[in-house]
Amino acid sequence: MAKEKNVEQITDMDVDFAQWYTDVVTKAKLIDYSGVKGFFILRPYAYALWENIQKELDRMFKETGHENVSMPLLIPESLLQKEKDHVEGFAPEVAWVTHGGSEKLSERLCIRPTSETLFCEHWSNVLTSWRELPMLYNQWCSVLRWEKTTRPFLRGREFLWQEGHTLHETAKEAEEETINMLNVYATLFEDFLAMPVIKGRKTEKEKFAGAVATYAVECMMHDKKGLQAGTTHYFGDGFAKAFDITFSDRENKLAHPHQTSWGVSTRMIGGLIMTHGDNNGLIIPPRIAPVQVMIIPIASHKPGVLEKADELTAKLKAAGMRVKCDKSDQSPGWKFAEHEMKGVPLRVEIGPKDIENNQCVAVRRDNREKEFIPLDELEAKIEALLEEIQTGLFNRAKKNLQENTRPAKTLDETKTLIEEKGGFIEAMWCGEETCELKMKEDAGVTSRCIPFEHKKVDEKCVVCGAKAEKMVVWGVAY
């Protein structure tokens, strides 16, 4: 396949995974760097991917009764400070607006790092009766966090996300919402991004600033590090009290509602790249791929080839697939490499010989398997291949997760496993933060989550040996 390497070489992922990642996001034309550190440009191909993800997620939000809104970009400093834990968590990393035009502002305004405070202020204005509950809101926007180190998709000073914010009559309803939305996220990751997840609860140390409880979906990347892919938060009525949000309940008494928030971001595109990619570039699961099938005419100067390529394109498009035909004046080899770099799940080649035999050649991006497809069965065969790729990618990632998740009973065992093999550790935890910190200090791992799917690995805490009921998944994370 040497002739296919006419696209600039990318770094070998097993030699330098971080450099491989940077190479892929630029060479696949996902990202350009702007003049301000940590602010990334999402080029058309990345944005199309984000739109496909948005479409599925937005559909699921609406099916579960949520409505979209738009909140302001700026938060007055005094508003940010209303909830004590929240401001402590976010104030150190916000960007401050001090001037509007030539006028110095009487109060600094921060660019939203997240919008809990804005939603609370709005709700304190509009909520009156239990009849208006639940309020199930979502917002698609960008937020800013002034991070020290930044990487495309994974950690930006600005990133695109959705933030759901909901108000409920009862604590029970709000708690259910956090679990329901975590399940929506799990569906998105597993069924569309082909990324298997571990669902669980965060420890007190790792939870969101101001939350009573935080839940997360955690994934494992190709390099066996963890990625927190999405979180949902239960707030109780803490914010409602801090912001004086009240309503007349069914007994006509004044009550505080219970609240949640939840979010996923373009970070998941980073996760997608690090889950499925290989040394030829990106691999995008068919269900969210901007282009599912790239048709490449071979010997396109020969009579009938371009016409046939157009015909196949039209047929697949009519069958509902996202298909393109690359008729540029580049060589087929150049095109193969280009669309492999961009992770197009399936390539279809059509040349004079194929036309003669009433067939085309389909080449899978995930395993490079080649198949001759009779043109009479084109749509059905291609659709089946796309499904196979989707499932194949999920199974490969699932295998990576399962094979690299190992139980440990002691801190020493944990250290050895992490040093020698990496991956996730399943180990019991007594619930004390000192033990959690010791795991970080000695073995370099943080608690990823306390999985809903409990396994009794041992009776005792992996660090202090005290009786332990909780099983925690630990790992090195992005």
Site residues (CB under 8 A) for a copy of itself? Answer: 32-36, 39-44, 46-48, 50-51, 67-74, 76, 79, 92-103, 109, 111, 118, 121-122, 125-126, 131, 137, 141-142, 144, 146, 157-158, 160, 328-329
How far apart are CB 387 and a copy of itself at their closest, in Å? 26
How far apart are CB 185 and a copy of itself at their closest, in Å? 21
- For a copy of itself, give the closer residue by CB, 11 or 142: 142
Greatest extent of the chain over all pairs of C-alpha atoms, in Å: 81
- For a copy of itself, give the closer residue by CB, 147 or 458: 147
DSSP alpha helices (H): ranges in 210-331?
238-242, 267-276, 305-318
- For a copy of itself, give the closer residue by CB, 158 or 340: 158
- For a copy of itself, give the closer residue by CB, 69 or 466: 69
How far apart are CB 176 and a copy of itself at their closest, in Å? 21
- For a copy of itself, give the closer residue by CB, 134 or 236: 134
CA atoms within 13 A on the CB side of 86: 25
3-state SS, residue 372: strand
How far apart are CB 328 and a copy of itself at their closest, in Å? 7
How far apart are CB 269 and a copy of itself at their closest, in Å? 11
How far apart are CB 317 and a copy of itself at their closest, in Å? 14
Whether residue 134 is preceded by a cis peptide bond, meaning omega within 30 degrees of 0, is yes
- For a copy of itself, give the closer residue by CB, 99 or 253: 99
Residue appearing with tokens 């971001």: 265
CA atoms of 267 and 216, how far apart (whole Å)? 14
Beta bridge partners of 104: 99
- The closest alpha carbon to 88, from 245, 256, 208, 265, belongs to 208
- For a copy of itself, give the closer residue by CB, 152 or 351: 152
How far apart are CB 382 and a copy of itself at their closest, in Å? 23
17-21, Cβ contacts within 8 angstroms, sequence gap of 24 or more: 17/222, 17/223, 17/274, 20/277, 20/279, 21/151, 21/270, 21/273, 21/274, 21/277
Beta bridge partners of 359: 374
